[in-house]
A and B are shown apart, each in its own frame.
Chain A
Amino acid sequence: MSLSLEEVRRIAALARLRLSPEEEERFAGQLSAILDHVRLLEELDVAAVEPMTHALAGEAPALRADLERPGLSAEVAVAAAPERAGTHFKVPRVLE
């Protein structure tokens, strides 16, 4: 199968990636080759197979008690923010 440049741009937009024209070219070829290999899976009849939705099948995940616990303070949480206002994350305007 072959991914068109159009399709590569559509996926990049969904993934919030901006690609250079060279990257678009390269990824179209490379992703097509990988997806060709993935078509191998079509050989298998999986209609009656359950998907492995949890890697720890049979191990009941332990649920913790729903209690209040200390977490990161607001000051620590915003300490690494590229831009902040007090204890808030600052972002460009969302609604124009």
Chain B
Amino acid sequence: MTATSGSELAALSARQAGARIAAREVSSRELTEAALGRIARLDGRLGAFLAVTADRALAAAREADARAARGGRLSELDGVPLAVKDLFLTRGVPTTAGSRILEGWLPPCDATAVERLEAAGAVLLGKLNLDEFAMGSSTENSAYKPCRNPWDLTRTPGGSSGGSAAAVAARLAHGALGTDTGGSIREPAAFCGVVGVKPTYGRVSRFGVVAFASSLDQVGPLARTVEDAALLLGAVAGHDPRDMTSSARPVGDYLAGLEDGARGLRIGVPREWLGDGLEPGTLAAVRAALEAYQRLGATLVEVSLPHSRYGIAAYYIIAPAEASSNLARYDGVRFGLRAGAGGGLREMYAETRQEGFGPEVKRRIMLGTYALSSGYYDAYYLRAQKVRTLVRRDLDQAFERCDLVAGPVAPGVAFRLGERVEDPLRMYLADVFTITANLAALPALSVPCGRDAATGLPVGLQLVGRPFDEATLLRAARALEREVGTFPAPEVA
């Protein structure tokens, strides 16, 4: 066995780590200890983890090493240390959703996605920080602690899967799972310089994932490389009888065509997405990526998504409306916090929810309750659902002329902590490019495409695809990655 330092081990991609375990050059135990060592050393400054399950991880690593020794590895991910957003239920391991209302709760079961990762032999290092109930774009809404961007600790990692993106970027885990309701995988991936995939609605089971907005929520990977993203997506995708919204379509091999390049691809560029409101450094990096695609033999096609400018308005009715309904279950009866029980049932509900929910969650419950309240349903929720049809129709029309759509992920680079907390609307407006894919139920990803010239911070390119055509998105992202490379480990100082 070759002696390798902890930081060299931590720098391996998930697939490389798996290959080294297979070749018996490194053990899962060494990888796990290296990751736990980095978490102990760096996460006090980053705040990516809400819980570290060191003992369980080391026990899982021992089992993975035993399997590797007898030649019975479960998958390429067997023994590879990963982590999941703290929105995924983990049996017997605290699951908070970033909220005080679930503090100390031990779920009775595992999320299907977690079960599948463990069935593939992956080692779970712990639970990752997030905006409370996944509501936010900065991870500042975590009830426990903010998470910081490993490239600049004064800035947010994005959100709501901010802990997932920060942990993967800072080499605290070799890959992670997040969830994306309006951009919550793609925006933090872009801000932290990693790859993030929001699959087609229905591609990955949401069983055991704390529900936010059920017609929009989707599970996906955050990864160091496009190849890792493909590997992780393949491990968790597929039908689950416990999630009635999960699709029965077979899952393709996302690694198979990954190296096929961009030649011949028709890439749609929405004219509405490269206009006003983009920071110059972001616009420049996105344009450079589009030019790279041309050099690689792809054709750029101008398309129009005239209804994408209505996306935010429709989303901030639909998502809060569904959230207000989903979060009705936190009532102090069956699990989680209970307060004010001495004053009767009504008092208990109000007191429990007042104490347990943070400001952003209350704001969205209020907004959703208003939109669904008597006399307002048609004006708000129904109208928003109709606009959703128009947003999807725009994409369907675009896909008659192109194979995928490309554009920015966010209007700019990672912003500073505290900068937008008091102005929720401004925070919401930054979701304009990501929300389209959620409303349209389409697959989308963020792949690093360069740095902002002024700050040196990562910029992501967003690719949006046809339903269940994650493979084309991953192939196109891989072609760009070969051109621009992946980000090195940031100096977390």
Chain A residues proximal to chain B, CB less than 8 Å: 3, 8, 11-12, 14-19, 23, 26-27, 30-31, 33-35, 37-44, 46, 49-57, 59, 61-62, 64, 72, 76-83, 89, 91-94, 96
Contacts and interface: CB of A to CB of B under 8 A. Distances in A.
B326 to A, nearest CB: 12
B382 A51 contact: yes
A51 B245 CA distance: 18
Contacts of A81: 333-335
B466 interface: no
B351 A18 contact: yes
B273 interface: no
Contacts of B425: 30, 33-34, 37
Given A37-B312, A43-B310, A76-B108, 9 more contacts: A11-B369, A17-B354, A19-B362, A37-B428, A44-B387, A80-B108, A92-B341, A92-B343, A92-B345
Nearest to B389: A52
Interface of chain A, main secondary structure: loop
A82 to B, nearest CB: 4
B341 A41 contact: no
B201 A17 contact: no
Contacts of A43: 310
B108 A79 contact: yes
Nearest to A53: B385
Given A11-B370, A41-B314, A61-B244, A16 B389 contact: no
B349 A16 contact: yes
Contacts, number: 172
Contact of A41 (B313, B362, B428): B313
B241 interface: yes
A57 to B, nearest CB: 8
A73 to B, nearest CB: 9
In the A-B complex, the 10 residue pairs with the smallest Cβ-Cβ separation, listed nearest first, are A51-B385, A82-B338, A80-B335, A18-B350, A46-B386, A52-B388, A55-B441, A15-B369, A16-B349, A49-B386
A41 B338 contact: no
Contacts of A72: 108-109
Interface in B197-244: 201-202, 215-216, 239, 241, 244
Contact of A38 (B249, B317, B348, B389): B317
